[in-house]
Every structure is written in C-alpha cells, then in structure tokens.
Amino acid sequence: MAEKGFGVKEVNLIGGSGTPTIASPNNLNLDAINVAISTNATVGGTLTVSGAVSVGGTLTYEDVKNVDSIGIITARSGVDVDDFISVGSNIHLGNAGVVTATSFVGDGSNLTGVTASGTGVVAQNSGSTVGTAGTFNFRNGLTATYSSGTATIDATGSTPADDDVQVVYTTLNSSSNSYYRIQGNGIDNTANNPTLYFYRDTKYRIVNSAGGSHPIRIVTAASGGSVYTDGVTYSDTSNNYTTGDGSNLDFTPQHDAPSTLYYICVNHSSMVGTINIVDFGGSSSSRGVVSGTSGSLAQNATGNFNVTGYKSYLLMNVGLSTAGWFRLYTDSASRTADASRSVGEDPAAGSGVIAEVVTTGLSTSIKISPFVAGGNMDSTPSTTMYCAVKNLSSTTQTITANLTILKLED
C-alpha cells in the first residue's frame, strides 16, 4: 500500500497509566520548522544531529570523547588530550608533559624539577635590567657557595691590622733639583714642595719616586734642623732617610708630635716642604711642641728664624739645644728694631717682644710661669712665630728651639 500523507494540527497521547508509545516499522521523520519538547527527553540509542546543538543549561555526560567548543569548558574531573592544548598563542600543553610559555609570573616556590638553561642570568638594578651575565666573578675577599638551591656570598677578606698604612703619598720627579712634587689624595701634583697635613696617630707612607739622588727625610726645621725619628720608619735605617726609587718612608705622628715638621731632600736643601701635624676636628686646644732651628752661629752671634705655630697661643716652656738668649716677637719689624738690645737689658714697652729667656749649658729648658699670651700681629695674621737666638755657648753651632704652646686660635 503506498504512503499517504495527511495533515494533523495536534496529536494528543492520552492514557490513564503506562507509557504511551509511537511505533513505526521504519524511520520516524518529524519535518517541521521547530520541534519543541517542554519536558525531559530521553534518547536510548545514538542521537545524531546534522546541525548545531544549543544548550541553554548544563550539558552533563560521562566519558565525553570529542568536544569542539568556542567558549569555556568545565569538567568535573580530568580532561584527557591525545595531542596538545593551546592557550592563546604563547602557552602550549604538550602530550609529552612539556609546557611551553614565553614568560612566567610568580616566585616559582612550588615549581620542582626545573633546570635553568640559556645564555645567562639577567642582572637588575632596582628592577631595571642592566645586563645578562653568564658568569659572576667575586673579588676582593668575596666568595660564593651553592647548596640545596641556595647561593651564599661571604665576605672573607682579612681584618685590617692595627699598623696598616692608611694614607699614601708619592714623591714625583723634581725639576733642576729644586723642588719635590707629590701625588696623592688632596694634593695638587703640580705644586712645588706642597704642604702636607698629617693627623696624629694615623699611619702615612711616602713612596719616594723622585729618583735615587733625592733621598728624603723628616726634620725639625726648614733649614735642616734635627732628623725626626719618633714614629718614623726610614728604608735606610742606618742613615735615617728613604732612598729612591720605590722605597718607603712610613710615619705615624704620635699624640705629642710637634705641630710642624718638614720633609727635605738630603742632597738638595731647596727641596723642602712643610708637614703640619693636626688634631682630628681641627679645634683641639691641647698643648703641643713647635720647633725651629737657626743657621750656623759663631760664639755670641745672633740669628733669626721663624717657627710655624698658631695665630695666637699661650707660651708654656722654651727649650734650647744649647746655651743661648732666645727672644719671641709679634712680627718681623719688631724683631729688627730690637736687634741691638743687649742681654739683661729690658725691652721698651710696646716693642713687640712677647717673651725672652736665657739658658745655660746646665739648664736649657725654661718654664714660662705664668704662661705668656702671644700671637702674630702681621697685617694679615698668620701662624708664623718670629724668633731670634744668640749663641752663648763656646762653639759654633746651630740652635734648635722647642716651644711648648697652647693653641688659642688656628
């Protein structure tokens, strides 16, 4: 019997009990613009959909074999992938357990089995990359160790010794045997015979690089005076000087060192410069000894010389190297005007004489009691102390004056 179509507006399956059934010996085709099922639908076999399936709620099914989604997929347990999963263009989860990514954000504290490779380690300064290092070198007493994922850097440099040199100066080649030039921190290496400032109880080294004909030593007066050895180590200890080239003169001014000393070439008297011994802070008023030496004086001859001290001071003691008549003045003009006065004759009032002493061969150190206030009275005050001494000994010699003073003004 041939198929015959018929039109039906509505089919109602009515039954008091049981499950109403639509049975067909072959396929059942529902050809309509829209088939609406307002309740649950159960498919006992395979559901084949040639078009798209739109699910407004939740699609629940166990052992899903293939899912092609353009949205977000949420699985209750695992997701098995035969090939790989790509997330965007930078992250790939491969089937061999390999994760490929162009960057990683985080501290990495939970990562295990990670082996670093590549061209080096990125070095940063306050978050900004300053370069990439393949090797880190640790120098100047630093060492590095690596254990259990931790790199440790240690400072293993030796502890400075209490007699280490703290400041170094180098004497340079002189010109025409007339002056030293010195190189070092705070020194103008183009200045001739520059003045040096040394702190007490600080170790200094002078490296003699001025040539073998310019051995250097420290003395008590610009004219030569006595060789100074207190706290000084010369390379030539038998002659108390430092020879060139490359030999050292080490000097640690003691707490009671004179305020002024001099460095001088043994062979050339014009190569001489001042060493001012200063206290830390520059404002100490502690007493100190300043020295000066006259030229060679015959018996009863008088010589003038200057001592570097302070602009104003208290004179506490005068010591002479031999018997002599010592006078101290406020300025050079006063010293010149007083030159004709005799021993034992009082100076005129306002003559510029600060103090005078007469020593003998038995007593060459005189205490000034009470202390005498003195100072420089040049138009521009300086630290120069103007001195004169008469040789009262029986032989021709230089005379060194050691003045104990208390600083009142720098």
Residue 308, H or E segment: strand 302-308
Percent of the chain with pLDDT over 90: 37
- How much is the mean pLDDT over the chain? 81
| Tens digit of each residue's pLDDT (9 = 90 or more) over 192-206 | 999 998 988 889 999
Q: Judge residue 265's burial from the number of C-beta atoms within 10 Å of its C-beta, 0-12 exposed, 13-18 middle, 19 or more buried.
A: buried
Q: Give yes or no for a contact between 247 and 235, defined as CB atoms under 8 angstroms apart.
A: yes
Tokens of 270: 């014009």
| Tens digit of each residue's pLDDT (9 = 90 or more) over 210-248 | 878 899 999 999 888 899 999 999 999 999 999 877 789
The reported pLDDT for the residue numbered 144 is: 72
The residues, any chain, with a CB within 8 Å of residue 282's CB and separated by 6 or more, are 410
- Domains of the chain plus CATH, in order, are 167-278 (2.60.40.420), 287-409 (2.60.120)
Whole-angstrom Cα distance, residue 20 to residue 13? 6
Whole-angstrom Cα distance, residue 398 to residue 392? 12
Q: Give yes or no for a contact between 388 and 327, defined as CB atoms under 8 angstroms apart.
A: yes
Q: Give yes or no for a contact between 216 and 210, defined as CB atoms under 8 angstroms apart.
A: yes
The residues, any chain, with a CB within 8 Å of residue 353's CB and separated by 6 or more, are 327, 328, 329, 334, 338, 347
The residues, any chain, with a CB within 8 Å of residue 59's CB and separated by 6 or more, are none
Tokens of 356: 């005078």
Q: Is 269 left (phi over 0), alpha (psi -120 to 50) or beta?
A: alpha
CB atoms within 10 A of CB 298: 10
Q: Judge residue 5's burial from the number of C-beta atoms within 10 Å of its C-beta, 0-12 exposed, 13-18 middle, 19 or more buried.
A: exposed
Instruction: Please write down the HEC assignment for all residues of 194-236.
Output: CCEEEECCCCEEEEECCCCCCCEEEEEECCEEEECCCCEECCE
Sign of CA dihedral 317, 321, 327, 333: negative
pLDDT less than 70: residues of the chain: 1-18, 60-71, 76, 78, 81-82, 88-90, 92, 94-97, 106-127, 130, 133-142, 148-151, 155-163, 173-175, 280-286
Sign of CA dihedral 394, 398, 399, 402: negative
What 3-state class would DSSP assign to 337?
Answer: helix
Rg of the chain taking only CA atoms, in angstroms = 51
